[in-house]
Amino acid sequence: GENVEQHPSTLSVQEGDSAVIKCTYSDSASNYFPWYKQELGKRPQLIIDIRSNVGEKKDQRIAVTLNKTAKHFSLHITETQPEDSAVYFCAATYGNNRLAFGKGNQVVVIP
């Protein structure tokens, strides 16, 4: 099956700075890579996703990049705000529309 690794496990940034979370995956057949944000006690919510035929995608302060050759993808958050504090999960598809999730990154934005 697919194996998704996420680094770093915890990331602290000053408000206004950028945050970058990196994930690697093992299955070269994976073609869809979503990122989910989970606030404390809440459900995971999709914030951005990218497909394997695209190298980069942006949505306001959030962007995702994909390097298929190296099998890694990254989430970039610019101009971080306190409401960006949460756990972020990357994921990659494998057989039959399943998702393999990374273990999550705790992002703490320091005001």
Partner 1 sequence: NAGVTQTPKFRVLKTGQSMTLLCAQDMNHEYMYWYRQDPGMGLRLIHYSVGEGTTAKGEVPDGYNVSRLKKQNFLLGLESAAPSQTSVYFCASSPGTAAKNIQYFGAGTRLSVL
Q: How far is CA 16 from the centre of its chain?
A: 19
- Look up residue 33 and give its two tokens: 């890579």
- Smallest gap, in angstroms, from Cβ of residue 37 to partner 1? 11
By CB under 8 A, which span of 21-29, 66-74, 76-84, 95-103 interacts with partner 1?
A: 95-103
Residue 102 CB, nearest approach to partner 1 (Å) = 6
The total of other beta-carbon atoms located within 10 Å of residue 97's CB is: 7
**Which of 75, 93, 107, 109 touches partner 1 by CB under 8 A?**
93
Q: Which is nearest to 93 in space by CA: 63, 58, 57, 49?
A: 49
Cβ–Cβ < 8 Å for 82, 13: no
Contact letters (x/-) for partner 1, 8-47, by CB under 8 A? -----------------------xx-x-x-----xxxxx-
Query: Shortest approach of partner 1 to residue 77 CB, angstroms?
Result: 19
